[in-house]
Structure 1
Amino acid sequence: MKIPSLLDLDIEQQAVISLPFHGSHVITGEPGAGKTVMAVYRAWALATAGRQVVLLTYSNLLHQYLAQMAPDLTEALNVTTYHLWIKDFWRRHFRTDPPWIDEDGWIYDWSEMQRDCVLQRVGATMHLVIDEGQTLPVAFYQLCRILGVDVTVCADENQQIDDDQSTVSEICQALGIRGDPLVLHENRRNSREIAMLASEFRETAGSEIPLPTRLGCTPTVLKVPSLGYLLTGVSQYFNAHPGRSIGIICRSTRLMRDIQSELTRLGLAQHTQAYVHGDRYRDAVDFSTRPIRIVSAASMKGLEFDTVFVPDLDAYTEDPTSVDARLRFYVLCTRAREDLHFAHRGPQEPAILSSIPESLLVRHAG
């Protein structure tokens, strides 16, 4: 990410930094509006004012992204994930792990946690700044209110692609916020063509959303004979655009590993890295190097790339009219700044894109 300098922030972005340093606040906006940038700047401003600040997000990959995107702004912050923060907080106050209701320890018993905090009169004075706040459950925000923790939440409920998530109104209600959230209106990431395609999948398509003025290339759909054929094209694209970051977004871990192996065979090992949750060889990403990054659809929220390739359009077989499918593609499209390429094998284009107008997609056969 090319984070703007403080002097380059516009009026609505400056309004985020100027929010009161006490109390809870919600910031919302479309993908590309700069919510992640403002989460970092908001945390930096709070730390500069002497507040104890924790900058957190749901996914480990986005946590790494936030920590690396502006080291001069985040060096004084505790940048962590939602799960790590909860577990650390609970162990410090109760000398045990937080109670959970699933076998793997990812779904917490919020009622018991809230009751324990009330009975033990546990509180906290730090300020939490949360990016992609819609991915966290409402009960977490209710716990923050019980603890007396100030929270700044950057959230977009149109980017809900998992279960147990929160709407903006639910977050405001849980935190006791009265009044409207602060809205970032401008799309600062996508080209006009990418934003127009993404708008086809937005659930509130009838509302007026200003399109970016920056023009770019029309997104493409490629019918390819094989994965190797596509990745040869990715290699050629990289050689022609060495200054661009490339995101290859996959639905399966197996495909991610296959792509990394094939790009290595094509001589791009030193330029390629993959993130696979739970894989100790692929659990860290250096966003300052290796511009070809292979990530999963489950980890893509909050990230952005100059160019995005979706190599497995065939894997999106769910009902194309379902809310989940549409929101997933809405998020997927908006990861790309300049170029967006979908690829599928077989004669039939997957239904999720088949109804998109010809003016919004260029279709090629390999």
Structure 2
Amino acid sequence: MRMPNTRQITDEQEEIYMDAPMDGAIIVTGPPGTGKTVIAFLRAQVLKRKNLSVQVLMYNRVLQKYTSNVVDDQSNELASSTLLRWFKSWWVRHKIETPLEVGDKIYLDCPYENKDEVKNIGARWDKNHYNPKRRRRGQWYAPIEAYNRNTTGFLPWIAKDYDAPKIAQYQYDWQQILLLSAEYFAAGKAFNDWGHIIIDEAQDFPTRMYNFIRFAAGSMKNGAITILADENQRLSEDENSTIDDIIKALSISSERQFSLTENHRNTRPIAELAAYFYVGLKTGKPKLPHRKGDKPELVATTGLDQQVEYIVKVLKSKSVGEVGVFTQNDSLRRMFLNRLEKKLSGFYQVQTYSSKDSESNNIDRLTFDKSATVSILNRHSCKGLEFDFVFIPELQSILIDGSNLDAFKMNMYVMCSRAREGLYLLYSSKTNCLPAVIGCLPNESSGLLEYKNG
């Protein structure tokens, strides 16, 4: 991550990270490129100089890795983590024992010699679930239907641990967490003071999480919170919060609400195209930058291999830079990885990451802020990142209908705004009939895109 030097910090940014209250809760909103993540770390540095405990919390592991150089430059004086990993550690320290329940599965603590007993009353084996007691994968569980039919039979076997209750593997049950917290507090116990937490990409967390955070912070000596968010940059359609949701949940008064408006990342042509996909939510659009650059391209090809060739041609003709390739799913990510690794060997280092792929889930292999590097990522992993050149291939794979048009625009808004210097949209069509997604892009006469054939 590129941090600005003292001369590059604007008055707008300095007023927020230096002068905003250091206690209680504040919120900083701003469109892409306005420096919300920069503010997160500048504010963390100020808090650290005041000898206050501070944690910068990220939405995902890729963004945490992208910003790790900032933490390293501070000689480990700063701490960053994904929010879910930090919360897991914070919660476990309180030793609140709860049944090991994930979604519709209630896990069991069953020795091998008793497996037939639980199997006969409806238990099933989950080979992929990590069993903390055995320290390896594989654990018996009761499906919720079987458990409800025979609760008494399963009770002796219910596994318990100190982890917080979950709805799914990576999705905490914040309502249940709030109830357990109330019971814990009512018993006269105190929460471990988290000092000051700074939450980046805060719009991608559920409102119930903020209800819990407000309750927990209220019982702490410090318990301060800085929120950085842009509701126009929501990549998840399932769990997210609007700016108003967060403000209401944390009871943030108007004098504690701040906004960033200046785009420091994109060229003007890229910013203009990104603005086309703005859906009108509260955060607003950034002021258009003055920096000139090439017009983004929409490239028609006959297939994926021709798109690969076009990417290679562009990269070999440009000055060596840092490149992002954002795919719509994991299958496409693997296809572009395999082809670009071969085609760019000797010119660019090609890297990837996916939490779902055992061959690509080592986050430590990712390197950012390094020239001649191509990062191939699923679109869900691109939040908060920026690259000199961005390619968004296989656009025709995006299915568009009236019900998901806003979601499509938000996704495009996020992906397009990652590019500093060059932006390329590519699609495949073997007939004269254009894919439906092309109708959702600016037409050629708009001047926002240069239409080209690959």
Band of TM-score, shorter chain: over 0.9
Which residue of structure 2 aligns with residue 42 of structure 1? 43
Deviates more, 1:354-363 or 1:58-67: 354-363
Which residue of structure 1 aligns with residue 353 of structure 2? 275
* Per-residue deviation, residues 287-323 of structure 1 (Å, max 9, x unmatched): 1446100011111111111111011111112226721
Alignment of structure 1 residues 112-191 onto 2, 5 Å = 112-121=176-185, 122-123=190-191, 124-148=193-217, 149-162=223-236, 163-179=238-254, 181-191=257-267
Note if 1:361 corresponds to 2:435.
Answer: no
Instruction: Choose from 153, 162, 173 the match for 1:109.
Output: 173
Aligned residue pairs total: 364
Structure 1: distance between partners of 2:75 and 2:417: 25
Which residue of structure 2 aligns with residue 314 of structure 1? 396
8 Å CA contact retained: 2:34, 2:286: no
Larger radius of gyration: 2
| Secondary structure of 1:120 counterpart | helix
8 Å CA contact retained: 1:44, 1:74: no
* Per-residue deviation, residues 8-35 of structure 1 (Å, max 9, x unmatched): 2111110122122212110011111111
Structure 2: distance between partners of 1:134 and 1:74: 30
Alignment of structure 1 residues 20-59 onto 2, 5 Å = 20-59=21-60
User: Aligned pair in 2 of structure 1 residues 205, 119: CA closer, same or farther (>3 Å)?
Assistant: closer
Note if 1:9 corresponds to 2:9.
Answer: yes
User: Aligned pair in 2 of structure 1 residues 209, 261: CA closer, same or farther (>3 Å)?
Assistant: closer
Alignment of structure 1 residues 288-307 onto 2, 5 Å = 288-289=369-370, 291-307=373-389
Structure 2: distance between partners of 1:115 and 1:165: 21
* Per-residue deviation, residues 54-96 of structure 1 (Å, max 9, x unmatched): 1111211111112235632473122111211121111111261
Structure 2: distance between partners of 1:288 and 1:306: 10
Alignment-mate amino acid for residue 243 of structure 2:
V
Instruction: Choose from 178, 183, 199 the match for 2:275.
Output: 199
Which residue of structure 2 aligns with residue 75 of structure 1? 76
User: Aligned pair in 2 of structure 1 residues 131, 209: CA closer, same or farther (>3 Å)?
Assistant: closer
Which residue of structure 1 aligns with residue 320 of structure 2? 243
Q: CA deviation at 1:350?
A: 3.3
Structure 1: distance between partners of 2:406 and 2:367: 34
Alignment-mate amino acid for residue 323 of structure 1:
D
Which residue of structure 2 aligns with residue 350 of structure 1? 435
Alignment-mate amino acid for residue 174 of structure 1:
A
User: Aligned pair in 2 of structure 1 residues 69, 255: CA closer, same or farther (>3 Å)?
Assistant: farther
Q: CA deviation at 1:225?
A: 2.3
User: Aligned pair in 2 of structure 1 residues 209, 44: CA closer, same or farther (>3 Å)?
Assistant: closer
Deviates more, 1:123-132 or 1:148-157: 123-132
Note if 1:212 corresponds to 2:286.
Answer: no
Q: CA deviation at 1:53?
A: 1.0
User: Aligned pair in 2 of structure 1 residues 70, 109: CA closer, same or farther (>3 Å)?
Assistant: closer
| Secondary structure of 2:172 counterpart | coil
Q: CA deviation at 1:188?
A: 0.9
RMSD: 2.1
Structure 1: distance between partners of 2:285 and 2:367: 38
* Per-residue deviation, residues 171-218 of structure 1 (Å, max 9, x unmatched): 111112111521101111111111111111111189775211111111
More strand as a share of residues: 2
Q: CA deviation at 1:230?
A: 2.1
8 Å CA contact retained: 2:322, 2:369: no
Structure 2: distance between partners of 1:238 and 1:116: 54
8 Å CA contact retained: 2:275, 2:285: no
Q: CA deviation at 1:125?
A: 3.8
User: Aligned pair in 2 of structure 1 residues 352, 205: CA closer, same or farther (>3 Å)?
Assistant: farther
Alignment-mate amino acid for residue 423 of structure 2:
L
| Secondary structure of 1:16 counterpart | helix
Could you list the runs of 5+ residues in structure 1 that have no partner in the other structure? none
| Secondary structure of 1:364 counterpart | strand
Structure 1: distance between partners of 2:210 and 2:178: 11
Note if 1:223 corresponds to 2:314.
Answer: no
TM-score, with normalisation over the residues of structure 2?
A: 0.76
Question: Percent identical across equivalent pairs?
Answer: 30
Deviates more, 1:225-234 or 1:156-165: 225-234
User: Aligned pair in 2 of structure 1 residues 242, 75: CA closer, same or farther (>3 Å)?
Assistant: farther
Instruction: Choose from 163, 175, 179 the match for 1:97.
Output: 163
Q: CA deviation at 1:127?
A: 0.8
8 Å CA contact retained: 1:219, 1:362: yes
Alignment-mate amino acid for residue 278 of structure 1:
K
